[in-house]
Amino acid sequence: MSGAVEIFEVGPRDGLQNEARMIPAPEKVALVDCLSRAGFRRIECASFVSPKWVPQMADSGVVLAAITRAPGVSYAALTPNLKGLERAIAAHADEVAIFGSASEGFSRANINASVAESLERFGPVAEAAREAGLPVRGYVSCVVECPYDGTVAPGAVARVVAALRDLGCYEISLGDTIGRGTPEAVDAMLATVLGEIGADRLAGHFHDTAGRALDNVEVSLARGLRVFDAAVGGLGGCPYAPGAAGNVATEAVAERLVALGYETGLDGAVLADAARMAVRMRTG
Ligand code: HMG
Ligand code: MG
């Protein structure tokens, strides 16, 4: 195999949103700056959600103001509603993400809305982001399993993917939020979703609770996906997905991709520094 595969670094957001310790902004900034030096093209480092729901991300504006922006790198932020989008614009995020779920139970627990209500809420957010010149990424959570509803049908995933596509998302990230998807289930889900959108507009987002994330990356590669979300040091989880472990570790994905013959464009030594920093933050 050959060609380029991009890792979309989500550690400073998906990772740090779930740490029990309130990590001071300067530590977050140091991690983002190290990741910028490692060669990522996109780094998700902010989340303009309600600080009552996720206090760990309340300082996202401070973080975006203090990082050293590397040329050509897009610093991304989650925006669940118009208020979040306004905050992201004020903080000069380079792109934003709207995030929905394929399952009703997680949608209600995570964003206090049904799937249909969430898609209605995202419409004005996507439109206002477009007017502000910000690219919009979409997330679909619980693409194989939901912590509340159990197994999720591929058709339910495809419907939300199609809705996010129609809202203008330039890329849609498919989240195995609780990290319990088997490669067989991920493959079946992808087969259905690819009926709605090309592999070049999809990303895989695997948490690693059951130790299958790298297998799921390989299944997705075989289906043509070339972007994977990962968190340095395997940071994270989701505060509204009980029992979910962190994202698959960036350094493990990078190592597997290189072993398979793909290029990631990342500097392994700097990435190792970032991973050590992330692990210290987790235990610190
Ligand atoms: P709600 O309580 O229904 O909303 O929450 P609300 O509009 O009634 O607002 C409640 C309070 O929050 C109000 O304040 C609002 O002003 C404030 P009060 O009047 O009570 O003082 N508020 C905000 N403040 C700042 N920024 C905002 C904002 N919005 C409202 N943007 C809401 C609805 C969507 C806001 C809430 O449920 C929420 O913030 N949820 C986010 C949860 C979250 O961040 N989860 C983790 C990210 S998703 C994830 O990790 C999965 C992913 O990684 C993919 C995968 O793994 O599958 C992406
Ligand atoms: Mg996640």
CA of 118 to the centre of ligand 1 (A): 12
Q: How far apart, in Å, are the Cα atoms of 258 and each of 34, 254, 255?
A: 21, 6, 5
Index of the ligand 1 atom closest to the CA of residue 173: 54
Do residues 240 and 110 touch, judged by C-beta distance below 8 A? yes
Q: What is the model's pLDDT at position 237?
A: 67
Do residues 143 and 157 touch, judged by C-beta distance below 8 A? yes
Index of the ligand 1 atom closest to the CA of residue 81: 31
Residues enclosing ligand 1, CB less than 6 A?
14, 17, 47-54, 78, 80-81, 83-84, 87, 99, 110-112, 139, 141, 175, 177, 205, 238, 240
10 Å CB burial of residue 158 (0-12, 13-18, 19+) is: buried
Residues tagged active-site:
238
Q: What is the model's pLDDT at position 284?
A: 55
Q: In this structure, which residues have their CB less than 5 angstroms from ion ligand 2?
A: 14
Do residues 249 and 229 touch, judged by C-beta distance below 8 A? no
Q: What is the model's pLDDT at position 244?
A: 74
Do residues 99 and 78 touch, judged by C-beta distance below 8 A? yes
pTM over 0.90: yes
Q: Kind and range of the H or E element at 140?
A: strand 136-141
Measured between alpha carbons, how far is 4 from 25 in angstroms, rounded to an integer?
A: 33
Instruction: Compute the C-alpha angle 119/123/129, nearest 5°.
Output: 130
Please report, to the nearest 10 degrees, the dihedral formed by the alpha carbons of residues 272, 260, 1, 192 taken in order: -100
CA of 26 to the centre of ligand 1 (A): 24
Measured between alpha carbons, how far is 140 from 7 in angstroms, rounded to an integer?
A: 18
Q: How far apart, in Å, are the Cα atoms of 64 and each of 51, 61, 67, 90, 104?
A: 16, 5, 6, 10, 32
CA of 53 to the centre of ligand 1 (A): 6
Q: What is the model's pLDDT at position 283?
A: 60
Q: What is the model's pLDDT at position 30?
A: 98
Measured between alpha carbons, how far is 106 from 123 in angstroms, rounded to an integer?
A: 20
Residues of the chain with pLDDT under 50: none
Return the best residue to mutate from 19, 50, 216 for the ligand 1 pocket (most ligand atoms within 8 A of CB): 50
Question: 95: which strand partners?
Answer: 76
Closest protein CA for atom 56 of ligand 1: 177
CA of 261 to the centre of ligand 2 (A): 26
pLDDT digits (tens, 9 = 90+) for 117-162: 999 999 999 999 999 999 999 999 999 999 999 999 999 999 999 9
Start-to-end Cα distance in the chain? 39
Measured between alpha carbons, how far is 210 from 228 in angstroms, rounded to an integer?
A: 18
